[in-house]
Chains A and B, each alone.
Chain A
Amino acid sequence: MVERQSPLEPEYHVGSHGNFEHGVEILLTETRPGSIVQLAAWPGEEKKLIAAIRAVAGLALPDGAGGGLSDGAKSAFGFAPGKFTVADEAEGLAAAFARVVTPAIGTVTDLSHGRTAIRIAGPKAEWVLAKFFAIDFALPAFPVGAGRSTTHHDVFAQIQRTGTDQFDIYVFRSFARSFWKALCHASEEVGYEVQ
């Protein structure tokens, strides 16, 4: 398998940074999923698409806007009416969905090379993200598994909460390094570790 290059690489400095004398409160990683796929259902076909996600990824999405789920290896969440992002550690997800999501149901768009996935975890994850995005990160408003579409200075971002204090952020690959640098700066005050 060809090793995929990371757009973060020149700014990806493993180790502890910032104000970490009293411990690191943020962990930053690039999760590098093998597959990132966007699925969209034609009007009225949403239930069939959700069934396809269950069949291919084994994830039974909860009802409702932004509903999502992660099993550690695979993740899926709604980001718009009838539209879903699905990511997998393994490659080949787009081909697997293309076999099940027929043209009558909707569309499959392979974004594996178009998005960069950044994970922010730790007790100050909500605190740092609240400096970026004008949305409610509190657990009751943003439950584990759920997804949100929002923007940071015109950089479109999809965010999935994959743990009580863990979020996976999908940004355009071309903006990823700039976003990463901003995220590092924002994490300095609480001390962060890049893994």
Chain B
Amino acid sequence: MLITCPYCGPRDVIEFTYQGDGNRERPDPVSQNFEAWNAYVYDRLNPAGDHNEIWQHSGGCRAHLRVVRNTLTHEISSVAFVRGDHGSAARSKAEDKP
């Protein structure tokens, strides 16, 4: 499986660390809403198809990435920086393939 890091380009999956379900929304840390915490910790969509995930390019630029991966085919349809403002430093794909 290859993940195309927006900074580094296509890299083998061994360079990446899975950081969990990208659909979760963490409640306010001071929140006492136990249902919201329960959902954050345990509830998963578990789709058979496209899945929003967070990965870190831990063996490369170390950026955190939003990845959409198909759980049936491992096809990756989108990769973006979690922190959108890395955009200015991102590799332009055109420059990659002269």
Choose from B59, B63, B95 the contact partner of A150 (Cβ within 8 Å).
B59
- Chain A residue total in the interface (Cβ 8 A): 23
Choose from B11, B61, B63, B96 the contact partner of A134 (Cβ within 8 Å).
B11
Choose from A43, A46, A80, A136 the contact partner of B61 (Cβ within 8 Å).
A80
Interface footprint category on B: 20 to 34
Judge if A77 is at the interface, Cβ distance under 8 Å: no
Chain B residues with CB below 8 A from A148, complex form: 8
Choose from B61, B91, B95 the contact partner of A79 (Cβ within 8 Å).
B61
**Interchain CB contact under 8 A, A150 and B86:** no
**Interchain CB contact under 8 A, A64 and B92:** yes
Q: Which residue of the partner chain A has the closest CB to B12?
A: A134
Digitize A61-79: 1 where CB-to-B-CB distance is under 8 Å, 0 elsewhere: 0001110000000000011
**Interchain CB contact under 8 A, B59 and A66:** no
Q: For residues 1 through 58 of chain B, which have their beta carbon under 8 Å from a beta carbon of chain A?
A: 6-9, 11-12, 14-15
**Interchain CB contact under 8 A, B85 and A44:** yes
**Interchain CB contact under 8 A, B15 and A81:** no
Chain A residues with CB below 8 A from B9, complex form: 65, 135-136
**Interchain CB contact under 8 A, A78 and B89:** yes
A79 to B59 Cα, complex, angstroms: 11
Judge if A151 is at the interface, Cβ distance under 8 Å: yes
Q: Show the binding face of B for A, using Cβ within 8 Å.
A: 6-9, 11-12, 14-15, 59-63, 81, 83, 85-86, 88-92, 95-96, 98
